[in-house]
Amino acid sequence: MIKKILKNWLMAFIWPRPLIGILYIPKLLIHWVRFSRMHGAPKIRFADLQPCLGDWTSHTPFDAHYFYQGAWLARKVANSKPLHHVDIASSVLTVSVLSAHVDTTFVDYRPLKTNLSGLKSVAGNILDLSFTNASVASLSCLHVIEHIGLGRYGDPLDPKGSIKAAKELERIVSDGGALYLSVPVGRERICFNAHRVFSPETIVSMFPKLQLVDFSFVDDVGEFHNDTELSHAEKLDYGCGMFHFTKSAE
């Protein structure tokens, strides 16, 4: 019981807005007492409190990178209507929704244990994917390759990890197929061991056998810019670039 109480209160100060919850403890306690005194209210023990202290906001908070990249990918796939889609280690929430309207294979270094119609989850390494050359017609990899080689997820350290991952994605895209990729864009650097940040032009240069169809991005304040120029994202600090590539038949 003590462990459960400590866990509930600790989580209140960590999620969804770290430490901000401390400011709302008085409001929580006032609400608890007021609710308990209302007609018909059951008795609520202190031990049963599970504080949610970060949700008193005027607007619903969200991570702009993950919100917009998931929406961007869903619209791209819905428009192209592939028979099958392959995703490499993107957000599990994104692939769960995507699999509702297209059969999806989800590949991750840490396999997803789930049972959902339309979704097949397999273990795989982005540096050595099991797909044959030019075999995937619809492929996505969102907010992933910037992590490769930094050891954050138990992968081996490798300064060229992102470049190697890009080559592997490029290898498996079929002729006429599409790659939907997102990465942090802006001032180039490695924020060890979290991620890398790339110039948009650097990302394009990492896929010499692919052609850029269009580019969208989320800027530093969370605004989405659809189908725009690479140069518009060059001066960002930490944006999210979304690249739609295709591979022409040789």
Domain containing residue 220 = 64-246
**Which CATH number do you get for residue 217?**
3.40.50.150
Among 108-112, 169-173, 174-178, the range scoring the smallest mean pLDDT is 108-112
For 182, what's the count of Cα atoms within 13 Å in the CB-facing half-sphere?
A: 24
Quick one: 42 and 76 in the same domain?
no
Spell out the long-range contacts of 8-16 with Cβ–Cβ below 8 A and sequence spacing 24 or more. Answer: 8/49, 8/50, 8/51, 9/49, 9/51, 12/50, 12/51, 12/52, 12/53, 12/54, 13/53, 15/54, 16/54, 16/55, 16/61
Report the pLDDT value the prediction gives residue 54, as an integer from 0 to 100.
Answer: 73
**Mean pLDDT for the stretch of residues 133-159:** 96
pLDDT, tens digit, for every residue of 87-139? 999 999 999 999 999 999 999 988 899 999 999 999 999 999 999 999 999 99
Report the pLDDT value the prediction gives residue 61, as an integer from 0 to 100.
Answer: 83
Residue 53: inside a domain: no
Band (pLDDT 50/70/90 cuts) for residue 248 is confident
Quick one: 10 and 79 in the same domain?
no
The larger pLDDT score, comparing residue 18 to residue 109, is at 109
Quick one: 104 and 128 in the same domain?
yes
Quick one: 147 and 33 in the same domain?
no
Report the pLDDT value the prediction gives residue 14, as an integer from 0 to 100.
Answer: 62
Among 13-17, 103-107, 177-181, 224-228, the range scoring the smallest mean pLDDT is 13-17
pLDDT, tens digit, for every residue of 63-100? 999 999 999 999 999 999 999 999 999 999 999 999 99
How far, in Å, CA of 161 to CA of 143, rounded?
Answer: 14
**pLDDT of 220 over the 90 cut:** yes
The larger pLDDT score, comparing residue 20 to residue 104, is at 104
Residue 203: inside a domain: yes
Residue 197: inside a domain: yes
Quick one: 68 and 42 in the same domain?
no
In the chain the first and final C-alpha atoms are separated, in Å, by 65
**pLDDT of 160 over the 70 cut:** yes
Quick one: 20 and 105 in the same domain?
no
**Mean pLDDT for the stretch of residues 201-213:** 98
> How many domains, the chain?
2
Residue 240: inside a domain: yes
Quick one: 26 and 86 in the same domain?
no
The larger pLDDT score, comparing residue 61 to residue 146, is at 146
**pLDDT of 19 over the 80 cut:** no
The larger pLDDT score, comparing residue 69 to residue 56, is at 69
Quick one: 70 and 158 in the same domain?
yes
Q: Residues 138, 84: contact at Cβ < 8 Å?
A: yes
pLDDT, tens digit, for every residue of 41-53? 999 998 888 888 7
Quick one: 195 and 95 in the same domain?
yes
Quick one: 107 and 174 in the same domain?
yes
Quick one: 74 and 130 in the same domain?
yes
The larger pLDDT score, comparing residue 15 to residue 50, is at 50
Quick one: 44 and 156 in the same domain?
no
**pLDDT of 17 over the 70 cut:** no
